[in-house]
Amino acid sequence: MYDLAIIGAGPAGMAAAEAACEHGMRAVIIDQQEQAGGQILRRPPASFSVRAWLQQRVYRQLHQLYARFIKLDKLTHLHGTTVLGIGVEEHHFVLHINGPSGLEPLLASRVLVASGCFDMPLVFPGAQLPGVMATGGMQAFLKSQQIIPGKRFLFVGSHPLQLIVANQIAKAGGDVAGVFFSPSLSKYLAVLRSPLVLLRQLPNMLFFVGVLAQLLLRRVPVKFGTELVSANGDNALEDVVLKQDSSSTNMKPIACDRLGLCFGFLTNNDLVRQVGVVCSWSQNAGGWIADHDQGMRASVSGIYVAGETTGVAGASVACLEGRLAALSAACDSGKMEQPAYDTACGAVHAPLKGARAFAQLLAEASYPGDATIQRAMSDDAYLCKCEEVTVGSVRATLAQHPDVSDLNALKLLTRCGMGHCQGRYCHYQSRFLLATDRNLPVESMAGFTARFPIRPTSIGELIGDLRAEDME
Amino acid sequence: MSTRYDNNVTRGSTVELVIDGQQVSAYEGETIASILLLEDKTVCYRTRTNSPRMMFCNMGTCFECRVRVTQAGVSRWMLACNTTVQAQMEVDTGVALSQWIPGGNGDV
């Protein structure tokens, strides 16, 4: 039995593991990837050697955390392992893990869920075409696999990350057709002018300005106030049609074989919801966010949350929250006295307050806006890519069933959300569509139910070595 | 067409695998997704209506990069983005979901 099971080895999980080990907890960290670091430090394979990997100043603290993390010799690290569900027992939790040796139970007194986030999809015509990718996914090919994942790239979105990825691709020798932001330039300038940003986040801001300057020097067009109309091609992406906000006509199609979408991130919150943690809805901080107290305790006793699980806020917030969550777990299990806990938390709360304030500004600035999401959602676009359910067919179903006002009912009627991504890539837009259609507040609706197993798992994996006679 | 980025990178030994019946050489540590991009494949699997799909998230959440992988005679769906290439692996792209769901031949 572990004192603490940490799910996710990104910044929050690594910081939590460090704090847990400092306080003598028997801890295990479980991650789907082969190496720790999370998406932000998605490392090259161990068999590669890459000189000067991610040397920019913004990564410095994370590299230091990673270096300390891999030296934690009392920590158990299960990599290549997915947690498919969490069972609640009277005094402990049972984590159903699926790793190299198959499906197994893992027992822990306390659980920290730090499962991160993923790129927010946009529903628009052609989104399902091969070649349309998450910008974060493209960046992972560059960072980790050291490949330029295409030939001619176009980026459309609202999050400043796309500037960084476009610049990395251009630097590596890829052809970047342009970086287009859906919000207007004035929206970003308003953030830049905030005293909070100018005082505390100047290095980050200068980093972005530097990246922008490099792109412009490379003659990559960077434009604001541009909307995505459609991605086109017979069997794969061939061109993308955009439209300037101010104009009623579409721009000339832009030829490309890769379209990067960068509209911010959605929290990976299926596990916390499956275990019964109370969550709230945030339209601009990633959808479902887990409710928690000052010490990162979630509503289910013994469950802690940190990082993007509590709202998309980036690596600095994640590190601090991870540390705080592990300190609370140590204190709650009697490994730490209250006064020592109060002192240790005090040191985290002040920097956390500043980091969260900046994250909130960034979330507001990089949220594409309800209007952009809605305009892209035309009737011929797939609302659910997995099950090929169009926006139009869902609207027609809603018109036929005026009594339906919740997402689970909509799912049963249309199969929207029933596919292999288990609704991760359509729950946000489905909620938006339903709320708009029924004139309901988007925050108030229940979501698709999160169930075990939270990732598609074959029956063969589930039954493992069991034979027919064992099951009688 | 995707390309390996060579500046500052030293890759290890190579691995031979088979993609759609063709012998392909990869570096140890590369994912199936990378090799598919490098080989200029534009489909991982096909939906029930036969529409082609490729990787979107590259982090194991969207399941759009599923390919059929056969190893030691056992064939299964695997995520190209989360699976590292191994010698003698046989990867088939463009397999339609409709070809295996009903009455498959006992594979998983």
Determine which helix (DSSP H) or strand (DSSP E) holds A84, and give its type and residue range.
strand A82-88
Say if strands B22-27 and B14-19 run parallel, antiparallel, or are unpaired.
antiparallel
What is the ipTM, given to two decimal places? 0.94
Provide the pLDDT for residue B6: 84
Provide the pLDDT for residue A146: 97
Q: How far is CA A156 from CA A123, A365, B56, in A?
A: 13, 15, 15
Residue with tokens 């990350």: A161
**How close A32 gets to chain B, by Cα (Å)?**
8
Provide the pLDDT for residue A198: 66
Q: Give the best residue of A145, A237, A387, A457 to mutate against chain B (max B CB count within 10 A).
A: A145
* B44 has a pLDDT exceeding 60: yes
* B100 has a pLDDT exceeding 80: no
Q: Give the best residue of A51, A128, A129, A146 to mutate against chain B (max B CB count within 10 A).
A: A146
Confidence category of residue B43, pLDDT binned at 50, 70, 90? very high
Provide the pLDDT for residue A99: 93
* CA pair distance A128, A383, nearest whole angstrom: 10
Q: Is A235 on the interface with B (CB under 8 A)?
A: yes
Percent of chain B with pLDDT over 90: 78
Q: Looking at A318-467, which runs of residues are DSSP E strands?
A: 382-384, 389-390
Confidence category of residue B102, pLDDT binned at 50, 70, 90? very low
Q: In which residue ranges of chain A is pLDDT below 50?
A: none
Average of per-residue pLDDT across B69-76? 91
Per-residue model confidence as pLDDT tens digits over B8-35: 899 999 999 999 999 999 999 999 999 9
Provide the pLDDT for residue B106: 43
Provide the pLDDT for residue A471: 63
Answer whether A146 sits within 8 Å of B60, measured CB to CB: no
Q: How does DSSP classify residue B60?
A: S
- Phi and psi at A110, nearest 5°, equal -135, 155
Contact assessment for residue A119 and residue A134, using Cβ atoms and an 8 Å cutoff = yes
* CA pair distance A62, A46, nearest whole angstrom: 18
Provide the pLDDT for residue A101: 87
Answer whether B61 sits within 8 Å of A45, measured CB to CB: no
* B105 has a pLDDT exceeding 60: no
Provide the pLDDT for residue B108: 42
Answer whether A133 sits within 8 Å of B76, measured CB to CB: no
Question: Which residue from B minimizes the CA distance to A150?
Answer: B2
Q: Report CA torsion sign: A451, A454, A458, A459.
A: negative
Q: Is B19 on the interface with A (CB under 8 A)?
A: no
Q: A20 in the Ramachandran plot: left (φ > 0), alpha (ψ -120 to 50) or beta?
A: alpha
Provide the pLDDT for residue A462: 85
Residues in chain A within 8 Å Cβ distance of B61: 118, 268, 421, 424-425
Question: Which residue from B minimizes the CA distance to A40?
Answer: B59
DSSP 3-state assignment of B56?
coil
Answer whether A134 sits within 8 Å of B34, measured CB to CB: no
- Phi and psi at A260, nearest 5°, equal -95, 130
CA angle A95, A100, A101 (to 5 degrees): 75
Q: Whole-model pTM?
A: 0.95
Pick the closest to residue A242 from A129, A161, A154 (CA basis).
A154
- For every residue of A136-196, DSSP letters joined together read HHHHHIIIII-EE--SEEEEEESSTHHHHHHHHHHHHT-EEEEEEESS-HHHHHHHHT-HH
Q: CB pairs below 8 Å between A and B: how many? A: 145
Average of per-residue pLDDT across B77-99? 93
